[in-house]
């Protein structure tokens, strides 16, 4: 049994999707980020950085793992799935995982802050992060033009990148004319395990359901937490 400490963010959903894909039994512990539960001593004992997600593997002596990318690697190695065992195959998965961890997540995260949360619209900052996010999407699209998945078979690299790409509208980044990226996005979205993982827990804000008016209200409620740096980071 694994306990997943999480919230409805792209990083949180990476891990819940992987757990569903791997069929591993887990218990969900949803943290209220607005209440600062991720900063409480009992959680800091699991993740000193005070960010979600984190897991505790009770079958491995209550071994704790934090950082979403590290958790994905741990789960893949634990099960021997979603990452090849050979060195070149493993390296390909890790390369695209690091692409998300070092590029897609941070750039979209900053786009979110300046586009959605800051009360002042600092247009050069918005333009900078949205343009870099779009550039990274174009890198993915170009690679996916020749490959079904990012690293051979479907893997944790696809899960990690997809969990962020699917939120592109929240970041204000267009995927128009990125047909290969859209094909890949839709193929992953159709997977039953992915659909289950997105409900662990479900997002409080849905642009398709709530529209831009709902997005603005949600951003205003979350603004203080985001700007003071208490939220989940890429």
The per-residue pLDDT for 229 is: 56
Distances (CA, A) of 176 to 88, 109, 211: 33, 20, 19
The per-residue pLDDT for 43 is: 98
The per-residue pLDDT for 231 is: 47
Predicted structure pTM score? 0.93
Domains (range + CATH), the chain: 2-79 (3.40.30.10), 87-197 (1.20.1050.10)
Sign of CA dihedral 7, 10, 15, 21: positive
The per-residue pLDDT for 67 is: 98
Phi, psi dihedrals of residue 115, rounded to the nearest 5°: -85, -35
> Per-block average pLDDT, block size 10, for the chain (234 residues)?
97 98 98 94 98 98 98 98 97 98 98 93 97 98 98 98 97 97 98 98 81 78 66 43
Q: For the chain, give percent helix, strand, coil, nearest 5.
A: 60, 10, 30
Contact (Cβ atoms closer than 8 angstroms) between residue 37 and residue 59:
no
Q: What is the pLDDT of residues 133-185, one digit of tens each?
A: 999 999 999 999 999 999 999 999 999 999 999 999 999 999 999 999 999 99
Q: What is the DSSP code (8-state) at residue 26?
A: E
The per-residue pLDDT for 222 is: 77
Sign of CA dihedral 170, 83, 38, 103: negative
The per-residue pLDDT for 220 is: 78
């Amino acid at each position: 049994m694994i306990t997943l400490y999480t919230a409805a963010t792209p990083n949180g959903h990476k891990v819940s999707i992987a757990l569903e894909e791997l069929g591993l039994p887990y218990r969900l512990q949803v943290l209220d980020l607005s209440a600062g539960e991720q900063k409480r001593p009992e959680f800091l004992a699991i993740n000193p950085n005070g960010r979600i997600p984190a897991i505790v593997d009770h079958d491995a002596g209550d071994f704790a793992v934090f950082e979403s990318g590290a958790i994905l690697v741990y789960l893949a190695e634990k099960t021997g799935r979603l990452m090849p065992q050979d060195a070149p195959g493993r390296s390909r998965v890790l390369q695209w995982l690091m692409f998300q961890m070092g590029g897609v997540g941070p750039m979209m995260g900053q786009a979110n802050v300046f586009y959605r949360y800051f009360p002042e619209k600092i247009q050069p900052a918005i333009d900078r992060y949205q343009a870099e996010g779009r550039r990274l999407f174009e890198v993915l699209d170009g690679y996916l033009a020749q490959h079904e998945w990012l690293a051979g078979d479907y893997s944790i690299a696809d899960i990690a990148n997809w969990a962020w790409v699917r939120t592109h509208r929240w970041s204000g980044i267009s995927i128009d004319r990125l047909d290969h990226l859209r094909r890949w996005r839709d193929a992953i979205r159709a997977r039953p395990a992915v659909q289950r993982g997105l409900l662990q827990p479900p997002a409080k804000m849905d642009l398709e359901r709530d529209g831009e008016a709902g997005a603005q209200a949600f951003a205003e409620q979350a603004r203080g937490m985001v700007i003071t740096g208490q939220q989940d980071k890429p």
